[in-house]
Structure 1
Amino acid sequence: MFSNSIKIANRVIGSNTEPYVIAELSGNHKGSLEQALAMIDSAASTGVDAIKIQTYSADTITLKHNAPEFQIEGGLWAGRTLYDLYQEAYTPWEWHQALFERARERNITLFSSPFDLTAIELLESLGCPAYKIASFEINDIGLIAAAAKTNKPIIMSTGLATLDEIYEAVNTVAESGGTQLALLHCISGYPTPIEDCNLRTVADLCTRFDFPIGLSDHTIDSTASTTAIALGASVIEKHFTLDKNDGSVDAAFSLEPDAFKQLKLETTRVHKTLGTAGYEVKPSEKGGRNFRRSLYVSRAIRKGECFTKENVRSVRPALGLHTRYLEQVIGQQASQDIAFGEPMSEGFLTKPLITTPKKTSVK
């Protein structure tokens, strides 16, 4: 049984909390521990909730092979082998302790995507507070089960997966004892064209699953991320870079520090706009009802004179009779002299108004 919220390092994540924004470092450290540490410092200063790394090596994620199926066709990395790409992009395991220590110094949550069982062993030894299952690993049932058995919160991306595969992965987490799960809608295109985002899937996932839903965003800006919040997303993951022009492996669909700071602000503001469904008058509307329409005397009227559409009008403010009574007022005689600008009152009429119950629905 999954909880309808999850908790990572004392931060509750769910539909009623501010969006949980994750800065994904990926391989944008360019093979430099100093740059990786600088990225943690910079990301922490943007106000994001967490930083994520990836724990694999080229040898744990693929084979060193030149067959066609190991070659990348099209996109940012066209012409490269999987092994060559991952050899450039991986975060060396010997860096991990330093990265976790730097995150603790900066009071920012750091967790990782493990790509095999040995990665989980390493991350467990470092006290990793949560695990992310990447889109390409959503069909690695053994990996998902091993991550769930740690009893840590699991965040899982759904890119490339069919709905049946998503259900299989979710069931694997449950069957392995996991109780905290979040699913991220994801399009695994690098970068993702905005027209491929299909963000209505976020809303659909919210109806299918009673736990946090989010977005792993590979577009070039923050439009999709902020829109996803309006559709029910509780978690946003976006790639982070110090400089989009530094040649780092994922720079093309990553945000620089200032843009990440804006992303955090915008997603928080969008979430605040959602509030709750309701029709009560809000504090900022206080007094506003008094300036709505009602019936007022628009010309001076003498006793016995008939009310007409020329001497009674629907105007602002709202101290007179409700506008629904205009047709009953017209044609009646005034019971007294009435000055211009007086709010209409039933006491001005010679016949009582016929009141009917207000309609509460339309069919």
Structure 2
Amino acid sequence: MFSHGMRPYVIAEIGANHNGDLDLARKMILAAKEIGCDAAKFQSWDEGLFAKVVYEENKFLGDDYRERKDYTLKEIMAEFKVHREAMSELAGFCKEIGIDFCSTPFTPEQVDDLVAFGAPFIKIASMDLVSDYLLRHAAGTGLPVIVSTGFSTLEEIDHAVRTLEEAKASEIVILHCLGLYPPPDEAVNLLNMDMLREAFDYPVGFSDHTLGPEIAIGSFARGAVVLEKHFTLDKTMFGWDHKISADMPEMEAICRGRDRVHAALGRPRRTLTDAEVSRRAEFRRSIVAARDVKKGERLTADDLDYKRPGRGIAPNMDHLIVGRTATRDIAADELLSWQDLSAQ
């Protein structure tokens, strides 16, 4: 499904931006399809993601909730989760309109649900790159496994890749990712994708938490075959990730940039298009006579000039002309030809 050099696959990360509203989720899926995304992705968490101590401390709230007193963490987790039956319905809706469905699982049971729902791959969140039991279970499905690398050292990434390999993962894609929302531009380090590709020889991509479309588009130029980007219909909407998500115009710009950059990348070898060759003579220079030259005169460097078009002797051949004699009268500004010159 994924390979080096393929047309980049863009995942609209809806995550929890549906705010627990299935009608909104459907609208977001439709919008993602309309603007050219390849997949609409959700997250399969529920209240079981956190231990009791986290709920007792009532921390880990999104920016929109930190100052609110009318929601506890447990309440908002319950409101924004997507039940299994609803997830199955969303998967069916994706199939109906022709966009891939996927979700990030946080338990082996949720991995199995995604297989049942027809997800084409399993996406492992950065937090679970060190969860070997979940990596092994994902690999055991036979589906490609995409793993994000936020928070992780190179040694941890290496361990995760070896764990997936030992579990016979059918395909592995490694996403460069920062566990910051949003990261400053100078921290993004897109060149890290080159390192990951060279170190592990697997397709690489980018799980993007930056603001705007520019850095996402830049990742395609670094060879990202998968781009995951948070998606919203309204950045001002109440909820976890709306503020750092791409809206429709931004995601459309990303998809348009994906197509243009992919078309422009080409192959790592020097080639000339037929159109470029056909215009070469028009744009290059030829050697012309800098003055009127009489038959029998010996040419010096001062007798030469260089002007368009490039249908005559190329400028880098001037050293082969100096010292030859003219075989006919040559007018100033006339293109020279080898027939106009004596043999050396």
Query: What TM-score does the superposition give when structure 1 sets the normalisation length?
Result: 0.86
Query: In the alignment, does 2:183 pair up with 1:196?
Result: no
**SS state at 2:15 partner:** coil
Query: Residues 79 and 151 (structure 1 numbering): CA distance in 2 closer, same or farther, change over 3 Å?
Result: farther
Quick one: distance in 2 between partners of 1:70 and 1:333?
Answer: 93
Q: Determine if contact 1:182/1:213 at 8 Å carries over to the other structure.
A: yes
Q: CA deviation at 1:18?
A: 1.3
Q: Deviation per CA, 1:46-80: give whole Å up to 9, x if none.
A: 11111111112111x11232589873399666579
Q: Determine if contact 1:215/1:228 at 8 Å carries over to the other structure.
A: yes
Q: CA deviation at 1:191?
A: 1.9
**SS state at 1:156 partner:** strand
Q: Which stretches in structure 2 are left out of the alignment for 5+ residues?
A: none
Any residues of structure 2 matched to 1:87-236 within 5 Å, and which? Answer: 87-236=78-227
Q: Determine if contact 1:64/1:83 at 8 Å carries over to the other structure.
A: no
Query: Residues 284 and 319 (structure 1 numbering): CA distance in 2 closer, same or farther, change over 3 Å?
Result: closer
Quick one: distance in 2 between partners of 1:217 and 1:88?
Answer: 26
Quick one: distance in 2 between partners of 1:347 and 1:39?
Answer: 71
Quick one: distance in 2 between partners of 1:70 and 1:139?
Answer: 25
Query: Residues 65 and 85 (structure 1 numbering): CA distance in 2 closer, same or farther, change over 3 Å?
Result: farther
Q: Hey, what does 2:28 align to over in structure 1? A: 39
Query: Residues 344 and 220 (structure 1 numbering): CA distance in 2 closer, same or farther, change over 3 Å?
Result: same
Q: Determine if contact 1:216/1:236 at 8 Å carries over to the other structure.
A: yes
Q: Determine if contact 2:62/2:240 at 8 Å carries over to the other structure.
A: no
**SS state at 1:52 partner:** strand
2:8 aligned to which of 19, 22, 41: 19
Q: Hey, what does 1:316 align to over in structure 2? A: 308
Query: Residues 67 and 248 (structure 1 numbering): CA distance in 2 closer, same or farther, change over 3 Å?
Result: closer
Quick one: distance in 2 between partners of 1:69 and 1:343?
Answer: 85
Quick one: distance in 1 between partners of 2:54 and 2:329?
Answer: 99
Any residues of structure 2 matched to 1:236-275 within 5 Å, and which? Answer: 236-275=227-266
Query: Residues 84 and 163 (structure 1 numbering): CA distance in 2 closer, same or farther, change over 3 Å?
Result: farther
Q: Considering only aligned residues, what root-mean-square deviation do their CA atoms show, in Å?
A: 2.3
Q: Deviation per CA, 1:75-97: give whole Å up to 9, x if none.
A: 66657986566445422223111
Query: Which contiguous aligned blocks of 4+ residues in structure 1 show a shift greater than 4 angstroms?
Result: 66-70, 73-85
Quick one: distance in 2 between partners of 1:79 and 1:163?
Answer: 37
Quick one: distance in 1 between partners of 2:25 and 2:131?
Answer: 28
Of all paired residues, the percent bearing the same amino acid is 34
Query: What TM-score does the superposition give when structure 2 sets the normalisation length?
Result: 0.91
**SS state at 1:236 partner:** strand
**SS state at 1:65 partner:** helix
